[in-house]
Amino acid sequence: MGRIGIIANPTSGKDIRRLVGQALVVGNREKVNIVKRILIGAYAAGVREIMIMPDSFSIGLQILHDLKNQYQKLVDCVQILEIPLDNSSADSIIAAEKMREWRADCILTLGGGGTVRVVSKGAGDIPLLPISTGTNNVIPEFIEGTIAGMAAGYFSLLADEEKKGFIDHQKKINVIVNGKLIDIALVDIAVLASQYVGSRAVWDPHQLLQVAVTRASPMNIGFSSIIGKYQLIGKDDSFGALVSLKESGKCYRVQAAIGPGMIHDFCIEEFLDMKPDMPVRLVNIRPAVIALDGEREIVLGLDDQAEIVLELEGPCFLDYRKIMESTVVIKK
């Protein structure tokens, strides 16, 4: 019997970008509905052990209440993880660690890029299936919960050797401050001329000093779209890139959407290819803040030295399309 974990971030999709931009709002009631559809899909695929992270909104308990009359056998397969809640990203990290210890076959996440980044730190080598309910949807896709649940279910019942064919390793950027690994980003890091974390979400483009990415496309929403207007970088390319920005002067000018409804012009002063495992020193302007996948996380003081390293062997994601296509009986 397969085992799947579910981590639904109740705070994703509710930051300041709803005020300064036109970002989509996915309320917690809709997250309840999405997880219900995940459970129905996973159960239909044969999963009989499911673990859900607790949260202050009680998403898991609401789901069990809603399903108990029509899907009692499914409800009997679900457990709510028992952990103390800090109402911070630490909850997701701890939940992912517990699911890894429980030997989950995969973990489904509901949130944005920040949620996936945090969960990946606790999940280790457990593959993730991210479902977007966040803002800048470069990594998490808008996947119908029913299909996500079925794909996770089919995957969880495969033999270990078969599972390897449906897993993709993602690139990541390691952030090193004063010689110590501090954190990671999966899509982009941004260096900002600021000294406060504040609302975490980055919405003022005039603070941007540098942007580094693992992937880039003009179709993206977020900082990776800045580089994406200069060079395309796919998720499977064995390189990344870093650009230095300035307000005016001689430069390469691009227009990019750094958030829903937030389009700005940027002036690229310098472009650098990032090769795997090669440290790149960040700009030495202080004080500064480093944002990871769109969220301010690291404050750099006057004496702090920071560098980044691109790594190809990052978190594992499920290729849900490939999983679902493998169930087709007749293929042309």
In this structure, is residue 330 part of a structural domain? no
CATH code where residue 162 lies: 3.40.50.2300
* 14 and 53 fall within a common domain: yes
Task: Indicate the SS3 state at residue 113.
Answer: helix
In this structure, is residue 204 part of a structural domain? yes
Which of 47, 320, 2, 277 has the alpha carbon at shortest distance from 168? Answer: 320
* 67 and 130 fall within a common domain: yes
- Is residue 267 within 8 A of residue 166, CB to CB? The reply is no
| Domain with 292 in it | 172-311
Mean pLDDT of the chain: 91
Task: Indicate the SS3 state at residue 201.
Answer: strand
Q: Flag whether pLDDT at 283 surpasses 90.
A: yes
**Residue 258 structure tokens:** 């750094």
- Angle between helix axes 113-123 and 89-101 (nearest 10 degrees) is 40
Which of 48-62, 139-153, 245-259 shows the lowest mean pLDDT across its residues?
245-259
Burial class (CB in 10 A: 0-12, 13-18, 19+), 284: exposed
Query: How many Å separate Cα 326 from the centre of its chain?
Result: 26
Q: Flag whether pLDDT at 331 surpasses 90.
A: no
User: pLDDT tens across 32-61, in order?
Assistant: 999 999 999 999 999 999 999 999 889 999
In this structure, is residue 225 part of a structural domain? yes
Q: Flag whether pLDDT at 141 surpasses 80.
A: yes
In this structure, is residue 331 part of a structural domain? no
DSSP 14-73: -STHHHHS------HHHHHHHHHHHHHHHHHTT--EEEE---TT-HHHHHHHHHTTT-HH
Percentage of the chain with pLDDT > 70?
A: 92
**Residue 322 structure tokens:** 């490939």
* 235 and 165 fall within a common domain: no
Check residue 229 and give its pLDDT: 94
* 202 and 179 fall within a common domain: yes
Q: Tell me the β-bridge partners of 174.
A: 184, 309
* 155 and 7 fall within a common domain: yes
Average pLDDT over residues 218-231: 94
* 96 and 159 fall within a common domain: yes
- Is residue 119 within 8 A of residue 144, CB to CB? The reply is no
* 149 and 287 fall within a common domain: no
Average pLDDT over residues 130-147: 84
* 63 and 182 fall within a common domain: no
Tally of domains in the chain:
2
* 215 and 109 fall within a common domain: no
Cα distances (angstroms) measured from residue 197 to each of 10, 186, 255, 288, 289 = 21, 19, 26, 10, 7
Check residue 19 and give its pLDDT: 46
Q: Flag whether pLDDT at 18 surpasses 70.
A: no
Element (H, E) at 155: helix 145-156
- The vertex-205 CA angle with 286 and 295, nearest 5°, equals 75
CATH code where residue 276 lies: 2.60.200
User: pLDDT tens across 159-212, in order?
Assistant: 999 999 999 999 999 999 999 999 999 999 999 998 877 656 676 788 899 999
**What's this model's pTM, rounded to 2 decimal places?**
0.90
**Residue 118 structure tokens:** 């945090």
d(CA 96, CA 93): 5
Query: How many Å separate Cα 68 from the centre of its chain?
Result: 31
Check residue 16 and give its pLDDT: 47
